[in-house]
A and B are shown apart, each in its own frame.
Chain A
């Protein structure tokens, strides 16, 4: 009973931690992996999702509906941003970096002006239950399930739909994709919009667990970037999943044994080591393994 509840608790901590890494990073990963744009407005797009969900909840909308609403609102905002601003900076990574940074400043300051320094949070939906000595939050269990569902959905989108095929082709060789008939401009708008929408969705999901303030997005930026860099760009979804799981697997046991601070230290250290051993990220390593298997006819 005791070891059983300890194992369950460890798995739970691992799951919540991996879900947090994945949710914080997913929008950033889509935009970086598919468009090679480092989106420094990522944290503010999450903030926008959190605000959308919080305001809608305070207005009486059920929380479960505010999450897809946040996705739609931030996705639409992302599409407009791409059309008006971001598309002028394709192929100039530094330019895109600066312009998205500028967007993040405007969004943060604009929110401060408009909504003030903070907003009453919404309470975490669902309750918690205990098993042995440990307690489990129902909401975080739902977040783990949503992360798994999102992974499956994104895998399907990028591997089984025309948009996904065109987006991956355009990422690898935009000129060739265009020369084969792909409307690459439209693909980029969709991709940026999707990445923004996912950031908004994550922001809404994390909102009940966070303090709602104009600069709340900043706290997600570091874990998001670490997840992305460790994951690598060869296959962004596999990379994000592998990286979120691995980082959580390092952080959780250390955190449980020595406290949250040492958990974070271990996380950063693990990220450094992984980047040293696999400079192209986890996904490149997975890909080489896949190539060997497919060449030898095992797959």
Chain B
């Protein structure tokens, strides 16, 4: 791996030899990758290469899919999230997740943003403050502050997706996982989400799955390229996109793929 700035500090998330297999095939093959504080890593690769599976192994969502066998270690601030004494529910509360499609609940805007805090029985004052802050960080506050009690399902798709980001941020995670968060959005909404992400990477670890090289170029400081379950190459965004070392990476970046 390249010598990156900040390689000396302990990573927030360290993936150590993670493999995911079904009964008859390998979906991810011994992936090792570190994520240090205040960074945005784009995970790119052709459809079916294992991007979704990869980020779902980080917060133990992958194990909810029957038939997947997960091996290796994922360290969160030095602790293995797969340690038998660790409750997966707590892991998921520490690493927020945003999905491809907006997934708001049929409740008010406020209650959607407050969902994670209600799960841990936070006080009303704490919830009020955290919801406001999360909506601001997600870049949604100006649009919704006057109708927080309105139904979240009445928001536009782009607003709903930023509400999902706010929901994940409200519990103040140190890690945010996003699985192609803009693939269902129009260009304007995509731009707003990207602006939000650029803001967030100054504060926390953001891991962004995207099939869109342009998006990786715009928002990430590091790109990891997956191909049929292998981590082919990882490096600083500018290096990766301009001088890829691997043939496969180059083919993917130049669009001779998919």
- B is bound to A: no
Binding site for B on A (CB under 8 A): none
